[in-house]
Structure 1
Amino acid sequence: MVAGGVSAATAADLPSTEATDQFIFQGIIRDGADPLEGVEVTVSGNGVEETAATDDTGAWSIGVAEPGTYTVSLDPATLPDGITLRSAEFESREFTTASTSQIGVLFPLDSAGGGGGGGTGGDSGTGGNTGTGGEGGEPAAPGGGTGEPGSAAAGTTTNDFWSTVLARTISGLGFGLLMALGAIGITLIYGTTGVSNFAHGELLTFGGVVFYATTTLINWPVWVAVIVTLVASAAFGWMHDWGIFKPLRRRNVGLVQVLIVTIGLSIALRYLFQFLIGGGILGLSVPRGDVITLGPVIMTTADIVSMSVAIVVLVAVGLFLTRTRIGKATRAVSDNSSLAASSGIDVDKVIRIVWVLGALLTGGSGILYTYFIGANIKWDVGFTVLLLLFASVTLGGLGSAFGALVGAVIVGLVTELSTLFIAADLRYAVALLVLILVLLFRPQGILGRKERVG
């Protein structure tokens, strides 16, 4: 899953799309460095069939409102004389919308001059790198020459490569900030109870599902839906502690048994969500706003709003933990619950507050995450990022809220920037590899503390 919907527009602004479009197929068609104007591209599927012609910069863009599988075709008859597709198989390609809202599509070309459309950072080849737009793909960059894997192809300007780096950095930062909201919830619960909650991803899914129900099924205003979702998420966290984990604490159930309970709870909740909303991808009725071009970076209003809200919430959480009595009590229980109890702190009350706060943050993350990735929700969206949430917490330091923030941002950046050099499907593996390398040299994590064992 690629968070963000941020992509690089190489040396040209893409044509505008309707504000109600949730997914945008786009690209730039060039012969070497020369843009091709008037080339027709058609997107069809799910009752949609729209055709767009490239403008004077070679850019084209077609927006669709619903998630699903679409066929993107180029009309070879509209290509200039002497220019053909490198292979007939590139004339028509099928794409399935997933997490990213911008889907780059490449049409590799051959011409008498040896140019042709190419891709940045693809497999090496002669006459331009070929590649599919894939998840989080960027519009086609000019090709030509022989390229090296993981680097800009020859014929691609330095500005094109660094535009892609900038776009991936912004996308990774946004992804990391959204993960930080959920990761802080995990680390607060672990710090105060010692429980690694494997059902935490379902708290994120719960927020997305409630937001979908209130905005799309009931058609409440967005601000009302946000308030209802946050209250419901907080209540859901309270029910977790009141109904399951507090009784387990009173019976002194071991951490291994509690861990198994969280795994079972995760499975039960996941399939409950599937029963309630089905197994497909559901689109939200909340528009993601206009497409905004900031220099070489293309974003939507949703991207900017999500990142801004995440930053504000994270600052508020930091102030809560460092400036309020309850926040200081939370940190005290996290450091040493027995000493905190002997100092007069109600440990059970603090743990209950932590569960509510953790669920509130994660439910808010669910709102932003489903909105950020393209205004859609799926029954297992939280489970798909659960491992990255734990990686963020471990990387930053178990039990450290600020460490979870740092770890989440690092994981987000590594995840997105790695797609410059490897296939997008492997980006999560790279983030976990970085986690392993860091822990080999610093087992306590970036902001964790060394502890004597034995």
Structure 2
Amino acid sequence: MRTLPKLARPIGMLAFLLAVFASLLLSAPAVQAQTLAAPVSASTPSPSPSPESPASTPDSFPNTINGVLRNAGQPVAGVTIRATGEGFSGETVTSETGAWTIGVPVQGTYQVELDVTTLPEGVALAEGAQNPREVTFANTSNAGAIFPLGEGIVVQSQSFGELLAERMLAGLSFGLLLALASVGLSLIFGTTGLTNFAHGEMVTLGAVLMFFLAGLGLPIWLAAALAIVGGGLSGYIQDAGLWKPLRRRGSGIIPMMIVSIGLALAARYTIQLFFGGSTQQLPGARSPQIEFGAVSISQNTLQSLIISTIVVLVVSFLLLKTRIGKATRAVADNPALASASGIDVDRVIRLVWTVGGVLAALGGILWAYYRPGVTFNMGQQILLLIFAAVVLGGLGTVFGALLGSVIVGIFVEVSTIWLEADLKFVGALLIMIIVLLFRPQGILGRRERVG
């Protein structure tokens, strides 16, 4: 009975934050209504209605086909682009910057055609350019179509080396954002022994919180900062209100793992209840392509690469050079010996859960920009990749999780050269199976005797 007063405060905090989170979720319909009612920006003119469907403004549907029309590096405005497919037809006109966007109701395959009669005088499609072109969505809410222009210019296909370099750069960016979630999961496993199946929902929470906070009119940087803080609070409250009481009761790892599965399901479908099942976009989800010679990368992907690298370096420094980092590694190696040495094990574990929530929330935000889009089950979709990275690097080893994440990220993106985009995540499962068969401890893990 003496434990009840000690639990009253964390349980009260848990109830309070759940109430705040519920109020944010309940504001979703109003936020979404404002988003749908927002006028089309001046940079993307309103497309004319089609006899087969209503006007397909970029905000009318959750999925979009877009591109930029340029000739000799200069934008080409006033050109008509049409998209037809899946029982839908819509069109738009390129803006002053040459950008165009057509909203489509469902993901699928569409025929996108440039009306050559609307091209300016002296401008023509490059020789060999496809028109119309077929566009197919692949696990994202955005699809692109490029129409190269230029009299006398011959379209050349990208060489294998250029394609490989482009996919490896994208894979490095994806691997580093994957590392943010994997490092948090590895820290939690190393200090508690718990395989947390609800970690994917902590990733989702970061993206969902930023969506609602940005919908309230906050600046992007402030919405992102508050969402990351919210992720840290969720980790703190989880440990204070659930995992610490279970540890004190002497609950085994298997029962606690089952609890984490139930928590994941409850959190996922609670988010779906209020957030909905459609894909929503964060502010600035559409970004221009940046070219480095023959290799191109989107601005959002490049920014994600930079942010992830900085955060990973900071976490590595804290683990190696600070007292709390050394205490964390000591608890991960031997909790009983660490406690006997005067280290507050519960405090270290609480900090680990908080940091894990912060890293997961940041990873969720970057994942929403990388995909792009926010969905209620986005954490579930990336959870397999997180586990694959942690298993590959070595369970409980932070730097193993980092190395495993980079390998998995590059493997997943490079595999799209030969595999369909829908099958690229299967490679992560293949990696996990091979590692468990031939090196169960992972690349940097330690071999342990069982029994």
TM-score tier (shorter): 0.7 to 0.9
Matched, 1:381 2:378: yes
Larger CA deviation: 310-319 vs 436-445? 436-445
2:113 alignment counterpart: 74
Over 3 Å counting, the alpha-carbon distance change for 1:285 and 1:85 in structure 2 is closer
Q: Distance in 1 between matches of 2:391 and 2:138?
A: 31
Quick check: 2:81–2:91 contact (8 Å CA) kept in 1? no
Q: Distance in 2 between matches of 1:171 and 1:314?
A: 17
**What are the within-5 Å matches in structure 2 for residues 15-414 of structure 1?**
25=66, 42-43=82-83, 49-50=91-92, 63-64=100-101, 68-69=105-106, 71-74=110-113, 95-96=136-137, 98-99=139-140, 101=142, 103=144, 160-215=159-214, 217-286=215-284, 288-374=286-372, 376-414=373-411
Q: Distance in 2 between matches of 1:297 and 1:85?
A: 20
Over 3 Å counting, the alpha-carbon distance change for 1:24 and 1:305 in structure 2 is farther
Secondary structure of the residue aligned to 1:198 is coil
Quick check: 1:397–1:447 contact (8 Å CA) kept in 2? yes
Secondary structure of the residue aligned to 1:299 is strand
Over 3 Å counting, the alpha-carbon distance change for 1:296 and 1:27 in structure 2 is farther
Secondary structure of the residue aligned to 1:72 is strand
Over 3 Å counting, the alpha-carbon distance change for 1:246 and 1:373 in structure 2 is same
Q: Deviations over 1:236-263 (max 9, x none)?
A: 1111101111111011111111111000
TM-fit CA distance, 1:175: 0.7
Secondary structure of the residue aligned to 1:73 is strand
Secondary structure of the residue aligned to 1:283 is coil
Q: Distance in 2 between matches of 1:279 and 1:204?
A: 17
Quick check: 2:136–2:143 contact (8 Å CA) kept in 1? no
Quick check: 1:184–1:405 contact (8 Å CA) kept in 2? yes
Secondary structure of the residue aligned to 2:425 is helix
Secondary structure of the residue aligned to 1:42 is strand
Q: Distance in 1 between matches of 2:162 and 2:133?
A: 28
State the TM-score, normalized to the length of structure 1.
0.73
Q: Distance in 2 between matches of 1:432 and 1:236?
A: 29
TM-fit CA distance, 1:224: 1.2
The aligned amino acid for 1:72 is Q
Over 3 Å counting, the alpha-carbon distance change for 1:323 and 1:23 in structure 2 is farther
Quick check: 1:198–1:262 contact (8 Å CA) kept in 2? yes
Over 3 Å counting, the alpha-carbon distance change for 1:439 and 1:98 in structure 2 is closer
Quick check: 1:50–1:62 contact (8 Å CA) kept in 2? no
TM-fit CA distance, 1:427: 1.4
Q: Distance in 2 between matches of 1:235 and 1:392?
A: 25
Q: Deviations over 1:258-278 (max 9, x none)?
A: 111000000000011111211
Secondary structure of the residue aligned to 2:297 is strand
Q: Distance in 1 between matches of 2:102 and 2:190?
A: 43
Secondary structure of the residue aligned to 1:219 is coil
The aligned amino acid for 1:42 is R
TM-fit CA distance, 1:49: 1.4
1:31 alignment counterpart: none
Q: Distance in 2 between matches of 1:65 and 1:239?
A: 43
Q: Distance in 2 between matches of 1:425 and 1:24?
A: 18
Quick check: 1:24–1:62 contact (8 Å CA) kept in 2? no
The aligned amino acid for 1:397 is G
Secondary structure of the residue aligned to 1:450 is coil
1:33 alignment counterpart: none
State the TM-score, normalized to the length of structure 2.
0.73
The aligned amino acid for 1:206 is L
Quick check: 2:177–2:363 contact (8 Å CA) kept in 1? yes
The aligned amino acid for 1:384 is Q
Quick check: 2:44–2:99 contact (8 Å CA) kept in 1? no
TM-fit CA distance, 1:432: 2.0
The aligned amino acid for 1:423 is E
Over 3 Å counting, the alpha-carbon distance change for 1:160 and 1:62 in structure 2 is farther
Q: Distance in 1 between matches of 2:102 and 2:260?
A: 37
Q: Distance in 2 between matches of 1:431 and 1:302?
A: 24
Q: Which has the higher helix share?
A: 2
1:34 alignment counterpart: none
Q: Distance in 1 between matches of 2:359 and 2:244?
A: 21
Secondary structure of the residue aligned to 1:385 is helix
Over 3 Å counting, the alpha-carbon distance change for 1:302 and 1:23 in structure 2 is farther
The aligned amino acid for 2:101 is V
Q: Distance in 1 between matches of 2:43 and 2:166?
A: 22
TM-fit CA distance, 1:305: 1.2
Quick check: 2:135–2:145 contact (8 Å CA) kept in 1? no
| Alignment RMSD (CA, Å) | 3.6
Give unpaired runs (5+ residues) of structure 1.
Answer: 1-16, 29-38, 53-60, 107-116, 118-140, 143-155
Q: Distance in 2 between matches of 1:294 and 1:226?
A: 28
Percent identity between the two aligned chains = 39
Over 3 Å counting, the alpha-carbon distance change for 1:218 and 1:449 in structure 2 is same
Over 3 Å counting, the alpha-carbon distance change for 1:75 and 1:328 in structure 2 is closer
Number of aligned residues: 370
The aligned amino acid for 1:428 is F
Q: Distance in 1 between matches of 2:315 and 2:287?
A: 28
Give unpaired runs (5+ residues) of structure 2.
Answer: 1-41, 46-57, 70-78, 118-123, 148-153
2:419 alignment counterpart: 422
